[in-house]
Structure 1
């Protein structure tokens, strides 16, 4: 082992000794004497250093023959914040695998989306994560299967295919290898929170790293909620955000609850529930919620950098855990960004509601105030849009964007190249730097976007006594600095 690797392994062991939850999902450790692997914050007695091995992914630990700890559930940790930051092949591949692309399209489909050969994709993932795309997708399928087994009454056979397995035999083998028990035994263990399938949905705990400023993100979503596809109900501290989802195999309705700051100030998850027409969409729906609520961020890395700025630092200290909300649907977010050009946030929400009522696809049955899916790009590309009462130039921009999304000229899937996408957006008539940047920040989850022409940003900078050039010192976390500026003026 090199001196460099030994140094980092010692740092990791110190994190394990201190049960440091900040590193959950960043690495995993396995214990050779017990044959299990854990998250760094596992509450069990710390093993001897000589018995500990470190792995960059759960799939790598599973590939080495270790089974998941039943106490700390290492498969349920937040994702590594590194994949939010990185725009290279490995970062893009990890986002696509999490979205279920390997299950739907295979490794060939993953490589085609990335623009590389399957051999190159496998080599780079294995070098950095100790596992190839098939093993990484398999680890995710095992986690999905555990959720379905322990929270629904789906028959075991249906659970296997819903989790993405091609056969019941492979499903059984994987569960035994990962959890050291049969699917039936895994189902029998926890009986709390067991749901009844579609009638009650799938209850979930969406893990994140604390601190998490839930009030900020629920405020952000509430101000922008579009009637028909979104709603936010309840008083602050007890709100429920609900929205419809267009998914690869069907549709869904997601609910996420705002944690009560008095009851669980430092909680490490958001309570959620998913109602899906097809359970095969579970992993994809979870990942879209994670992106929307920015649950894989590393708040300590962000705050540690931004707080060093003497002007921005006090705002960062005053509002720990601020997030940069992403999007549940990239194409929807892009259309909403165009609708919001040069008008207020409430006006943009009202305009979007008109668009949804005119061109959205109705749900088979309304779910409270949720009645539609957001209109798809192909529909909007050929729509007259007369109902919107917008200038002709704006309607043309909206149709042009929709056509580019429909024919693939502009890609907004989790594996899209951010620079290529921004260039493609700027090449469309009527789309300027603010719109392209806003789409890049939210639809593609880029943590390093700044919008100097935004009115709220200008006011925030003025309140701090800073100019736009100050943002250069905030890289690579300018998106989070932007949200601090917006909140500074509210």
Structure 2
């Protein structure tokens, strides 16, 4: 978009562009999302940024009214398969916090200097600044939703020291951590919100843009649910999906409510709070919350075949995976066999939560326990790194590695590429889908399935 188009989006407070760009006002030193309800600034005072990190790096503070750090992520990073798109997905998954810029560069197959240069050129901020913005957002969530001591929050959010934490919060929000915590008023009143303890779980609002067909997503999750690691209860429209998560530092249990109000309500229990950022990003991929339904529906709705399907289900999503390796195994063996693997090899939770008792077994565990056949070939490739399905995986290379495995056909590979790798433009073998539906053919397939035209 050019500057004129962006200013019109700001002037009209168009929420469709929240997360796609940010604007900053030179006279106030504040940056906002396009839908911010504040008085529209003069055109000559406005600057535009691709990311919140870029605005922060230029010295602007986050607006307290529109909370620009809480917007959905840009759909562009899920669409793009180049190094910048892969890097943005990996940073979102917390790789920089866990492995540093060097670890990010190794995963991408580039030097740290090349990664820095490309990210700065494309999004206006390098990996350190992008990770810093993400840490600040995580800290704000913990400050305003839990009763954790501020020192614990600093390290749980990924900061190296309390001083670094304090300096970052002041720079990003123009408040001290204590002021930021006290500024959130409870519903129906004033003053500080009553915070909850970590044992009660961290309440989250998982934002999305545009219409969201939650019923279709929850129907799919209900059909696929593997006992022990997932359950879903309630009636359509008011269901709650729960599952266990295997995370870098520990395990988690999440509950997500079906009802959509511009966001999905969730509650997250973690054994290690350092996993918060990663857990949130994986849930966003599972529920496809960073999609741009306006762009998808505009392209697909222009086709006579799809127009009535899009009109019937605006905002239909293409769900991803909370754990790509788990999804690959389940796509290969099916639900019943996945349940057997959980019972036999899954890691038991320290304390079961209702029907949730296990975390899905890791590929290395399965490769050692059942090394033969297609399952053994897949889990061995995942365990030794021959096949990578993480957030920054190169999609074409991953598909080639999948198709080289014995017993794994093209349809299963397409399912894994769509779900585990979050590719928005995948067509299963044998399905007639025109090129005019690019780059949203995964969504077109979802529409055809929802209409009963595909199995």
Q: TM-score range by the shorter chain?
A: over 0.9
Q: Which moved more, 1:73-82 or 1:432-441?
A: 432-441
Partner of 2:239: 239
Aligned position for 1:177: 171
TM superposition shift of 1:54: 0.7
Unaligned runs of 5+ in 1: 1-6, 261-266, 341-348, 386-394, 459-467
8 Å CA contact 1:440–1:449 kept in 2: the answer is: yes
Deviations 1:149-198 (A, max 9, x none): 00001110110000000011000000000000100111111153644332
Instruction: Confirm or deny that 1:106 pairs with 2:100.
Output: yes
Match of 1:378 among 358, 364, 384: 364
1:24-423 aligned at under 5 Å gives the runs 24-192=18-186, 194-259=194-259, 267-340=261-334, 349-384=335-370, 396-423=373-400
CA deviations 1:14-47 (Å, max 9, x no partner) are 0001111110001000011111000000011111
Partner of 1:450: 427
Contact 1:450–1:471 (CA under 8 A) maintained in structure 2:
no
Query: CA offset at residue 471 of structure 1?
Result: 3.0
Unaligned runs of 5+ in 2: 187-192
How many angstroms does 1:446 deviate by? 0.1
Match for residue 478 of structure 1 among 441, 445, 452: 441
| Number of equivalenced pairs | 447
Q: Contact 2:25–2:46 at 8 Å: present in 1 too?
A: yes
- What is the match of residue 390 of structure 1? none
> 1:65-96 deviations in whole A, cap 9, x for unaligned?
11000000000000000001000000000000
Cα distance in 1 between the residues matched to 2:337 and 2:238: 28
How far residue 418 of structure 1 moved from its aligned partner, in angstroms, is: 0.2
1:336-373 CA-partner distances (Å, limit 9, x unpaired): 01113xxxxxxxx2321121111100000100110000
**3-state secondary structure, aligned to 1:295:** coil
Q: What is the CA distance between 1:145 and its match in structure 2?
A: 0.2
Q: Secondary structure at the match of 1:241?
A: strand
**Deviation larger for 374-383 or 326-335:** 374-383
Name which of 446, 451, 455 aligns with 1:488.
451
CA distance in 2, matches of 1:312, 1:11: 28
Would the aligned equivalents of 1:195 and 1:201 in 2 still touch at CA under 8 Å? no
Change in CA separation of 1:12 and 1:419 when aligned onto 2, cut-off 3 Å: same
In 2, Cα distance between the equivalents of 1:338 and 1:471? Answer: 27
